[in-house]
Structure 1
Amino acid sequence: MKRNLLAIAIPALLVAGAANASIEVWNKDGNKLDLYGRVYALNYVGDKANGVDGEGDKTTGRIGFSGETQVTDMLSGYGRFEYETKTGSSEDGSSETRYAFAGLNFGEFGSFDYGRNDGVLKSLTAYTDVLPEWGGNASNNNLYTLSARTDAVATYRNSGFYGLVDGLDFALQYADNGDNSNTTLAGRNNNSAEAYGATVQYAILDTGLSVGAGYAATNGDHDNKTWSAAVKYDAYDLYLAALYIQAKTDSKGVANYTDDAKVQGFEFVAQYGIDFEIGRLTPSLAYIQHKDKADDKFVAKYVEVGLQYDFNKNLTALVDYKINLLDTDKVSALAYKDGIATGSKKGATKDTVALGLIYQF
């Protein structure tokens, strides 16, 4: 019985993973509700005179809840809602419903949910998307299919391969709106009608080593196919991770598009946690590169050096330095379509420092 209950509980914890400092507001008769939120006071410091990308205030506020209801020993229901707003005018698209989904958990037989949720490849890009502020360039549906939050996705997840292999997890996903019809390479809007993907991950015994691989694709005027593989080591206060991801758009003989477009990314991260009497300091070092293979230019290329200090589970301070390795003649047009670069080409090559303070509950 305990094993069955654990199989139900683990996936529910995964879908509510962002609420690690949450407040339990209700827990009675098999019904549980957690409330969570955060204020992220953030500023990008850079060369404003040269139009450095995103320079200035980036403060956001976030609120959400996650709930679970026990139906039987082997069946539970769950849901999650999360909303974020940025400081400044509401006319600039600064507010977003990040998550809104509900599902059923069948214990060892897995879970199924539908709504706005992470794309299935996000479980792999999350290996390297752990930096204090920068990183995460692979988690964007404009370049890589089902790699970021997506509307109208149906997702099946299974942990432990039906209770037969500890540490072996897999997921299947279908998006009936085509990955938000957003996947674009070389200016080609996918105009897709549907998207689908799958991942498999294996945590190797008690070694701290995990490996994963995934595939996702859209179906439309320009089919986008994305492959990814990742590995991480997390033990003895040391965290190491690497990610490879590649996307290719097939023109399918559409007029004016005779060549396929391709973007390829590598991400490497190293972190080490140091405990103090009060709090924990985590230095990080990373290398991020995403290349537009069509024109031999870069969407992103930089070294990250950061420090994160967790006073406790509710309060975190951070400084994150992006050492830009791009030259002006090597900035891909995709950097602007992807939202990574927003200013001039000269600004897109400048270093930037992120300073932040997070309060969360």
Structure 2
Amino acid sequence: MKKTLLATAIAGAMVVSASASAATVYNQDGTKLDLYGNIQIAYANTNDSNGESTDEIADNGSTFGFAAEHVITSDVTGYLKLEFDDFKADEQKIAGRDSGDQAYVGAKGYFGDVRLGSYDPLIDDWIQDPITNNEYFDVSDSNSGIANVGTEDREGDKLTFTSPSFGGLQFALGTQYKGDAEENEFTGTLGEGVTHTVEADSNASFFGGAKYTAGAFSIAAAYDNLDNYDGTVTSAVDSDGNATAASVVGTDVEVGDQYGVTAQYTMGALRVAAKYEQFDSEAEDGDIDFAALGARYGYGMGDVYGAYQNISFENDNDDRNEVIVGASYNISSAMYTWVEVATLDKEEDAGDGFATGITYLF
């Protein structure tokens, strides 16, 4: 499950949230500890890469978490968040401890907010989520281009400073640091049909953004230089698993940059958003542009929502148009159900389908 119904639902749309349903297990002498979680189970029927329909009942992101804070001074509060997911609630299994969601510590106060640990990328929170942060299906984003280098670590080893609001203007600056003592190899695609392993040196990337809010209107921009995913090819194989020409090994790989801007406006129970995002690729596939519109309306007992996105590829005429629609219904203050339908305009209708599920929160 994504974060929308838990954290970013508009007023009146949902009657439950992670913070509202969390249980405070300790609150004394300036220290507070909350316990929260959810069970999410979904049924999905989607097309695979060959266009064949496949279905399953699956865990949809069940989560168990702790949130704590304590008063450092009258103006500064320290906090932490520790969140586990991937419980596979549909089969009553628990994933290994290589799995998790978020874990960070921080301090907030008159100066703003400083956070260290593992958490969502800034471009995810500020740019992508307002369009679709749904239960099962989301429109594509610039992270899909980054996936070509094989990295899945967009959340770890980050430090972010977020300023207070200055008359509605707020900014954020941060870095993701990867040291040479860490496993710092990525596997991905280097040209058509070639899989490569890249070894990267110690590096601190840069990301940042700015957001302006005026009443019901807000606009945000974000940028990430993705420097941690640049490196040197140490090995490469073709689609048959055979080693490629030695000239490939030792070459430098630059992933590129990602940036985007999103504007949104809230009118009562209706929120509309527009996004432009680009993965500024250094690979031969070229840049990828994403232009999207999204809307969410709270009808009292849940939400109805939808999004349209056009994806344009610089060196490919095969542009795509994605459409996702969905609705949720609140069974109670702690339980809701939902249904979503998606068409992603890929070859063989890959990824198209529908899904439905139920979530219980505490």
* Normalised-by-shorter TM-score class: 0.7 to 0.9
- What does 1:110-149 align with in structure 2 at a 5 Å threshold? 110-123=112-125, 124-135=127-138, 137-138=140-141, 140=143, 143=146, 149=154
Deviation at 1:242, TM superposition (A): 1.4
- What does 1:5-24 align with in structure 2 at a 5 Å threshold? 18-24=18-24
Look up the equivalent residue of 2:328 and give its one-letter code. Q
Match of residue 106 from structure 2: 103
Give the Cα separation in 2 of the matches to 1:78 and 1:170.
Answer: 20
Give the Cα separation in 1 of the matches to 2:204 and 2:343.
Answer: 38
Give the Cα separation in 1 of the matches to 2:132 and 2:98.
Answer: 22
Encode CA deviations 1:21-72: one digit per residue, 9 max, x unaligned. 2111111111011111111111112458965577312214210111101011
For this pair of structures, how many residues does the alignment match?
309
Look up the equivalent residue of 1:40 and give its one-letter code. Q
Change (3 A) 1:120 1:48: closer
Which is worse superposed, 82-91 or 71-80?
Answer: 82-91
Give the Cα separation in 1 of the matches to 2:212 and 2:58.
Answer: 36
Look up the equivalent residue of 1:296 and give its one-letter code. N
Change (3 A) 1:112 1:80: same
Change (3 A) 1:113 1:324: closer
Identity of matched residues, %: 23
Which is worse superposed, 70-79 or 80-89?
Answer: 80-89
Give the Cα separation in 2 of the matches to 1:69 and 1:136.
Answer: 38
Look up the equivalent residue of 1:140 and give its one-letter code. N
Paired residues of 1:110 and 1:157 also in contact (CA < 8 A): yes
Give the Cα separation in 2 of the matches to 1:149 and 1:93.
Answer: 20
Encode CA deviations 1:124-167: one digit per residue, 9 max, x unaligned. 21211333431153273763899985110001011313xxx1x3
Q: Does 1:66 align with 2:103?
A: no
Which is worse superposed, 313-322 or 129-138?
Answer: 129-138
Paired residues of 1:209 and 1:232 also in contact (CA < 8 A): yes
Give the Cα separation in 2 of the matches to 1:307 and 1:354.
Answer: 11
Give the Cα separation in 2 of the matches to 1:51 and 1:125.
Answer: 27
Paired residues of 1:122 and 1:148 also in contact (CA < 8 A): no
Q: Does 1:352 align with 2:360?
A: no
Change (3 A) 1:23 1:230: same
Which is worse superposed, 152-161 or 54-63?
Answer: 54-63
Give the Cα separation in 2 of the matches to 1:347 and 1:94.
Answer: 35
Give the Cα separation in 2 of the matches to 1:81 and 1:36.
Answer: 10
Match of residue 219 from structure 2: 211
Change (3 A) 1:91 1:40: closer
5+ long unaligned stretches in structure 2: 1-6, 9-16, 231-252
Paired residues of 2:112 and 2:163 also in contact (CA < 8 A): yes
5+ long unaligned stretches in structure 1: 1-12, 252-258, 329-345
- What does 1:252-331 align with in structure 2 at a 5 Å threshold? 259=284, 261-275=286-300, 280-297=301-318, 301-326=321-346, 328=347
Change (3 A) 1:304 1:291: same
Change (3 A) 1:33 1:54: farther
Which is worse superposed, 32-41 or 145-154?
Answer: 145-154
Give the Cα separation in 2 of the matches to 1:291 and 1:184.
Answer: 21
Deviation at 1:98, TM superposition (A): 0.8
Look up the equivalent residue of 2:115 and give its one-letter code. D
Change (3 A) 1:56 1:232: same
Change (3 A) 1:94 1:80: closer
Look up the equivalent residue of 1:172 and give its one-letter code. L
Match of residue 163 from structure 2: 158
Secondary structure of 2:338 counterpart: strand
Match of residue 202 from structure 1: 212
Change (3 A) 1:286 1:237: same
Change (3 A) 1:138 1:324: closer
Deviation at 1:74, TM superposition (A): 1.4
Look up the equivalent residue of 1:202 and give its one-letter code. Y
Change (3 A) 1:79 1:94: closer
Match of residue 263 from structure 2: 231
Paired residues of 2:343 and 2:349 also in contact (CA < 8 A): no
Look up the equivalent residue of 2:204 and give its one-letter code. E
Change (3 A) 1:354 1:264: same
Match of residue 246 from structure 1: 278
Q: Does 1:26 align with 2:26?
A: yes
Deviation at 1:183, TM superposition (A): 9.8
Give the Cα separation in 1 of the matches to 2:120 and 2:49.
Answer: 37
Encode CA deviations 1:149-203: one digit per residue, 9 max, x unaligned. 5110001011313xxx1x322111100129x876967657775533211011111
Give the Cα separation in 1 of the matches to 2:186 and 2:212.
Answer: 30
Paired residues of 2:280 and 2:287 also in contact (CA < 8 A): yes
Give the Cα separation in 2 of the matches to 1:147 and 1:212.
Answer: 25
Deviation at 1:296, TM superposition (A): 3.2
Look up the equivalent residue of 1:75 and give its one-letter code. V
Secondary structure of 1:261 counterpart: coil
Paired residues of 2:21 and 2:334 also in contact (CA < 8 A): yes
- TM-align CA RMSD: 3.5
Look up the equivalent residue of 1:137 and give its one-letter code. S
Look up the equivalent residue of 2:342 and give its one-letter code. K
Higher RCO, Cα 8 Å, sep 6+: 2
Give the Cα separation in 2 of the matches to 1:122 and 1:359.
Answer: 25
Give the Cα separation in 2 of the matches to 1:209 and 1:240.
Answer: 10
